[in-house]
Each structure stands twice: as C-alpha cells, then as structure tokens.
C-alpha cells in the first residue's frame, strides 16, 4: 500500500470532515455521548474552522490511491522548538498500517520540532498505546469539559 503525505489544500475540507467524523464516532463510542460528539465536530470541523486552521496551523493529509484516509494537525513550532499535536485521525480500516506513525513523524521531520505535546482521553486505549509505543511520556492528567461531558485527559510529550 502506497501512502502519500502532503499538506492540506482547500479542496480537502470535505474529506477531512469525513475522516474526523468517522474516526471520532468509531473511537469515542461508549466514551463520549454521540450528541456531544456531533456538537463538537460541527463546530471544530466546520468549513470556516478548517480553513482557519489550515492558515494558522499545519494539517498534513495521508492519501492512499488518491483518497484521503487520515490527517494530522500540528500547531506552529514555537521558538523553543515545541509544537502541539491537536489530532491524528485515520479511518478505522486504515489504522494499524503505519499511517499514524508517518503522520506523527512529520511533526519532527518537516516542522523541525524537538518536542511534541498532545492531549488524549484516558479511555482512548488505542491512542494511548500508540503514543506510549512511540515514546511519549505522561506529563499530567486533568479533567476537562466538552459540552457538559467530563473528559479525563492525559497530557503527553515526546522529545527528540
């Protein structure tokens, strides 16, 4: 399977929205109520918000045979060479095929980051296992609110 990683373009908005929705629904079933997922997704992945993110952050797309199957969203690298990974979302049928690793590596390689931080829901065991396997260390844990639902969040970091 040939995977192409590239920067997001304006024409990718609908495909990125589909990946986000499909991934969220599969990942957070039983963790975050569906109505709260839908509310979050409609705001965070609206056309306007995605185009704003595309201008102010880095969004890398993973393509297989011309189809967008995943993406990663990074903040800009700060003067201390740190950045934040806001999201890695991959369609369920393409997970565990090395695409997440490629999207993760882009932050260190293309952006020149020496440290990447991220937040992950404690019950998202697949993501936690993935990040731990990649060398991320837990920095802290805290509770956060998402439309009235409590998220149990772990902050992690990877230093290069």
- Write down the pLDDT at residue 76: 86
The sign of the torsion formed by the CA atoms of 6, 11, 17, 22 equals: negative
Rounded to two decimals, what is the model's pTM? 0.94
Residue 1 has pLDDT above 90, yes or no: no
Return d(Cα 2, Cα 28) in angstroms, integer.
28
d(CA 134, CA 141) in angstroms, rounded, equals 19
Give which of 108, 116, 105 is closest to 82, Cα–Cα: 116
The pLDDT, as a whole number, for residue 108 is: 83
What is the helix (H) or strand (E) element at residue 107, kind and residue range?
Answer: helix 99-109
Instruction: Supply the pLDDT for residue 78.
Output: 85
Give the pLDDT of residue 144.
Answer: 93
Q: Are 140 and 155 in contact (CB under 8 A)?
A: yes
Structure confidence by residue, pLDDT tens digits, 79-123:
899 999 999 999 999 999 999 999 999 888 889 999 999 999 999
pLDDT digits (tens, 9 = 90+) for 35-90: 999 999 999 999 999 999 999 999 999 999 999 999 999 998 888 999 999 999 99
* Strands 67-74 vs 82-90: parallel, antiparallel or unpaired: antiparallel
User: Which top CATH class is 3-112?
Assistant: alpha beta
């Amino acid at each position: 399977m040939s995977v192409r990683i590239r920067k997001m373009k304006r024409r990718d908005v609908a495909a990125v929205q589909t990946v986000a929705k499909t991934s969220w629904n599969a990942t957070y079933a039983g963790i975050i109520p569906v109505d709260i997922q839908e509310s979050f997704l409609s705001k965070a992945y609206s056309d306007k918000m995605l185009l704003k993110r595309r201008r102010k952050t880095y969004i890398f797309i993973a393509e297989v045979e011309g189809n967008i199957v995943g993406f990663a969203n990074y903040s800009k690298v700060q003067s201390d060479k740190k950045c934040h990974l806001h999201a890695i979302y991959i369609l369920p049928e393409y997970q565990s095929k090395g695409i997440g690793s490629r999207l993760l590596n882009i932050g260190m390689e293309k952006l020149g980051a020496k440290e990447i931080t991220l937040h992950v829901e404690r019950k998202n065991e697949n993501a936690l296992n993935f990040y731990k396997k990649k060398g991320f260390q837990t920095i802290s844990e805290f509770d956060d609110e998402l439309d009235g639902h409590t998220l149990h969040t772990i902050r992690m970091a990877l230093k290069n």
